[in-house]
Amino acid sequence: MKLLPRNLPGQMAVLVALALFVAQAINFGFTLHDRQAFRLEQVVGPVSARIIDATQNPRARDPVIDARLSELRPDETPWDRFRPRPQATNPMPAGLSRRADVEHGIRRKLTEAGIAVSEVVAAIRHVAPDDPRLARLPRYRAQRLRMTGTEMLIAIRQPGTGWWVQSASWDDSDWSIMRGLILQTLVLYAIVLLPVLWATRRIARPLRTLTNAAEGFHPADQQGPIEESGPHDVRTLIAAFNQLRTRVLAMLDEKDRMLGAIGHDLRTPLAALRVRIESVEDDDDRTKMADTIDEMNGTLDDILSLARLGRPSEPVTEVDLAALVDAVVEDFRDLGKPVEFAEVDRLKMRLRPSLMRRAVRNLIENAVKYGGGAEVFLRPSAHAVEITVCDNGPGIPPERIGEVFEAFTRLESSRNKGTGGIGLGLALANAIVREAGGDIRLTNRPDGGLAATITLPR
């Protein structure tokens, strides 16, 4: 299980960046809504005010404007001023994009002021930079129209009066506010993300060291305590881990001393018994007693080996695995056991030779004891090496294959010495192989018998 993500600073930066982006997106939405409402009010408010003023003061007319209006042709519309003009048809040019929000706002304003309105039409017209009409407009307004490129045309019809017409500047682009928000976001990223990255790296570096130490902790390693660094909480956590590691190692040392004392205390009376049985006159009884003492010594060795396996004293060395397996097979052959080995070329491996020799010997011993003999194969590949021990025995029920790797487990329920040991052979072999980073599995052969396979990484 991973105690800490490998790229915590990057993940924190991404989370903060996403949070800032979401916050800026929400801010942009509110700002854009306010800008649109303000832009709408800039058009609706003045237009409605002029309509109201012109309606309530019909005599407040400019003679210059009236003279100019009298010069217009019937098909011309004076969009630059509000004036009533009797006209039966809508003066709005066809094909323009209408704005329902402007129409609704003007109608609402005029209705609230008590002015009857028959029809309101608002549309956007594009203005070319070389439009000749711009020459007749005030300079500031002409410049604004050239900059925005669009204007709002508004036509309002009152019952019995005619159409009121007006044009107003209209900037339909939101790029200026988007540019400001983008710049604001970049500044926020620079101000917020850099300190976040610095803080997370300061926290993540000692946490990653602690994670690696916890994941790679092994009782056999002689590593010193981890350096306490980082914020106060992280230093406290590292100090607690160092104390825990010290207590665990002290408990393991105490366990090893206790096991050594137990082994010494048990072997001493067994050795004394071995001497005493020499005075027994009956050869059969003496032989049985000697076998019992040898069995007790073997059981004691297996128990101590299994208990001490977490902290083996044997170092990892480079050995010829083929020669190691062959030497184990030769030991059984010297005892007259039917064990065969398919010879292979030299195969260099880094492992603990005495422990691996014991694991292979336990498998071969089980094959000889329960299968009448053993065939041993060594199969190297690019990434692993397999040591397979096959026999011709009855095999193991499939539902009980997983049980045989547990300590003190025997498939044969009786405690007859002739049918097996005390159930530590496979448990010890499995522990040795696992400690070496490998795997061990048992499979029933199709033609009968059992195949025990050790897989070691190269």
Please tell me whether residues 99 and 115 are part of one structural domain: yes
Out of 311, 327, 356, pick the residue that ends a domain: 311
> Do 343 and 307 fall within a single domain?
no
Q: For residue 189, is it within any domain?
A: no
Highest mean pLDDT among 51-55, 168-172, 327-331: 327-331
pLDDT for res 66: 47
- Do residue 342 and residue 284 come from a single domain? no
What is the pLDDT at residue 201? 79
338-367 per-position pLDDT tens digit: 999 988 888 999 988 888 888 899 899 989
What is the pLDDT confidence band of residue 195, given thresholds at 50, 70 and 90?
Answer: confident
The answer to whether residues 31 and 92 belong to one domain is: yes
Residues 329 and 406 in one domain: yes
Last residue of one domain, picked from the residues 250, 282, 311: 311
Residues 171 and 27 in one domain: yes
Kindly report the CATH number assigned to the domain that includes residue 369.
Answer: 3.30.565.10
In a domain, 379, yes or no: yes
- Per the model's pLDDT, the better-predicted residue between 94 and 336 turns out to be 336
- Domain extent, residue 351, equals 315-457
pLDDT at 325: 93
Q: With 60 as the cut, is the pLDDT of residue 27 above it?
A: yes
The domain boundary, picked from 311, 333, 365, lies at 311
Alpha carbon 22 to its chain's center:
22
Considering the domain boundaries, does residue 75 fall inside one?
A: yes
What pLDDT does 70 receive?
44
Q: Indicate whether 270 and 321 sit together in one domain.
A: no
Q: What confidence score (pLDDT) does residue 75 get? A: 44
- Give bridge partners of residue 178 from the DSSP assignment: none
Check whether residue 289 and residue 324 sit in a common domain: no
Radius of gyration over alpha carbons of the chain, in Å? Answer: 48
Is residue 421, in this structure, part of any structural domain at all?
Answer: yes
Which residue in 302, 219, 300, 225 sits closest to 254, CA to CA? 219
Lowest mean pLDDT among 152-156, 159-163, 411-415: 411-415
| Same domain membership, residue 371 and residue 290 | no
Residues 307 and 322 in one domain: no
Asked if residue 444 and residue 334 are part of one domain, the reply reads yes
With contact defined as beta carbons under 8 Å apart, do 276 and 267 qualify?
no
Average pLDDT, the chain: 79
CA distance 457 to 436: 9
pLDDT tens digits, one per residue of 33-79: 888 788 888 888 888 888 787 777 655 444 444 444 444 444 444 45
Q: 3-state SS of the chain? A: CCCCCCCHHHHHHHHHHHHHHHHHHHHHHHHHHHHHHHHHHHHHHHHHHHHHHHHHCCCCCCHHHHHHHHHCCCCCCCCCCCCEECCCCCCCCCCCEECHHHHHHHHHHHHHCCCCCCEEEEEEEECCCCCHHHHHCCHHHHHHHHHHCEEEEEEEEECCCEEEEEEEECCCCCHHHHHHHHHHHHHHHHHHHHHHHHHHHHHHHHHHHHHHHHHCCCCCCCCCCCCCCCCHHHHHHHHHHHHHHHHHHHHHHHHHHHHHHHHHHHHHHHHHHHHHHHHCCCHHHHHHHHHHHHHHHHHHHHHHHHHHCCCCCCCCEEEEHHHHHHHHHHHHHHCCCCEEECCCCCCEEEECHHHHHHHHHHHHHHHHHHHCCEEEEEEECCCEEEEEEECCCCCCCHHHHHHHHCCCCCCCCCCCHHHCCCCCHHHHHHHHHHHCCCEEEEEECCCCCEEEEEEEEC
**Residue 409 domain-assigned?**
yes
Reported confidence tier of residue 384, pLDDT bands at 50, 70, 90: very high
Reported as a single tens digit per residue, the pLDDT across 374-383 is: 999 999 988 9
Based on the domain organization, do 255 and 168 belong to the same domain?
Answer: no
Over residues 322-333, the mean pLDDT reads 92
Any domain includes 132: no
Q: For residue 209, is it within any domain?
A: no
Q: What's the pLDDT score for residue 65?
A: 45
pLDDT score for 53: 79
Return the higher-pLDDT residue of 80 and 329. Answer: 329
Residue 29 has pLDDT above 80, yes or no: yes
Count structural domains, the chain. 3
pLDDT confidence of residue 81: 47
What pLDDT was estimated at residue 310? 59
In-domain check, residue 430: yes
